[in-house]
Amino acid sequence: MKKAQHPRHNISRRQFISGMGSLGLVTAATSTLWLSPSLRNQVLDRASRWNDRAQGWLYSAERMAPTFAKTDISPHFPYNGFYPEAYVPQLSPQEWQLQISGLVENPNPLSLADLRGMQQEAQITQLICIEGWSAIGQWSGVPLHVLLKHIGAKQQHTHLHIRCADGYYTSIDMASALHPQTIIALDFLGQPLSPAFGAPARLRIPVKLGFKNAKFITELSIRENSSPNPSDSNGQGYWEEQGYNWFSGV
Ligand SMILES: Nc1nc2c(c(=O)[nH]1)N[C@H]1C(S)=C(S)[C@@H](COP(=O)(O)O)O[C@H]1N2
Ligand SMILES: [Mo]
């Protein structure tokens, strides 16, 4: 295979779109409602061709990702990461702390016990990976809006930057961070997360593609948007910097 001249851009927008195509998505010719998974897939397909600004107004707090029944849960949930499963970080739940930084009133780190002491929410939702697979799982943990309130995060003209123990990082717009279905998941299928699935805490954000669902998170940082259009500056992320669409959501 020919080596890409500019490694940062070696996943082109066209490849991104054909990646979406490999999910078996169809092009929506009409405007759609938002509830069924197939319609949501149409939206994802359309969204992948729009710029982040155009996608911004697509989003609203009332728009919910589909939820599923226990019987829909995938029997074998795939592991995914930018390296093989054998190398996932093994973090000690006792020693782990979630660092808090940036535009917050209360930057004290949070322990796992702190997070377990907060309001918990469960969801059965679908994780959709851009590489062409999806699976339904059950996660529970702290709604991110509860945590953001707890730390006194500045919510205007800011975005959330997330760092992980494996060097992975991503960032999301504040509206999506505050979405009611966005959680800091601690459990998967009713058990504490296993290392491969992000122990001890991961982002579970069903209104975004899989790569936004950061695992083994170590730091949440609230950062100022550098322009009124958040997408001008908020492309930061391991995959985002290789060309994946920053918004990547519905
Ligand atoms: N820290 C970290 N988080 C990550 C990744 C990663 O490589 N490192 N991969 C992302 C991708 S591309 C996907 S599809 C999901 C997969 O989550 P799963 O292993 O629970 O299926 O994790 C996301 N979160
Ligand atoms: Mo992914």
Query: How far apart are alpha carbons 68 and 70 in whole angstroms?
Result: 7
Write the DSSP string, 175-223: HHHTSTT-EEEEEETTEEPPGGGTTT-EEE-TTB-GGGS--SEEEEEEE
Residues of the chain with pLDDT under 50: 1-36, 42, 46-59
Query: How far apart are alpha carbons 83 and 168 in whole angstroms?
Result: 11
Which residue from 80, 125, 136, 238 has its CB within 8 A of the most atoms of ligand 1, so it is best to mutate?
A: 80
The per-residue pLDDT for 206 is 94
Q: Are strands 158-164 and 191-192 parallel, antiparallel or unpaired?
A: unpaired
Question: Taking a C-beta distance cutoff of 8 angstroms, is the pair 88, 81 a contact?
Answer: yes
In short, whether 162's Cβ falls inside 6 Å of ligand 1 is: no
Nearest CA to ligand 1 atom 24: 214
Cα–ligand 2 centroid distance for 245 (angstroms): 12
For the entire predicted model, the pTM comes to 0.79
Ligand in nearest proximity to the CA of 78: 1
In short, whether 193's Cβ falls inside 6 Å of ligand 1 is: no
Q: Are strands 97-102 and 133-143 parallel, antiparallel or unpaired?
A: unpaired
The per-residue pLDDT for 64 is 87
In short, whether 81's Cβ falls inside 6 Å of ligand 1 is: yes
In short, whether 166's Cβ falls inside 6 Å of ligand 1 is: yes
In short, whether 110's Cβ falls inside 6 Å of ligand 1 is: no
**Residue 140: which H helix or E strand, with range?**
strand 133-143
The letter for the amino acid at 150 is: H
Q: Please, what is the average pLDDT of the chain?
A: 80
The per-residue pLDDT for 31 is 27
In short, whether 139's Cβ falls inside 6 Å of ligand 1 is: no
Nearest CA to ligand 1 atom 1: 215
Closest ligand 1 atom to 78 CA: 21
Nearest CA to ligand 1 atom 12: 211
Q: Are strands 97-102 and 217-224 parallel, antiparallel or unpaired?
A: parallel
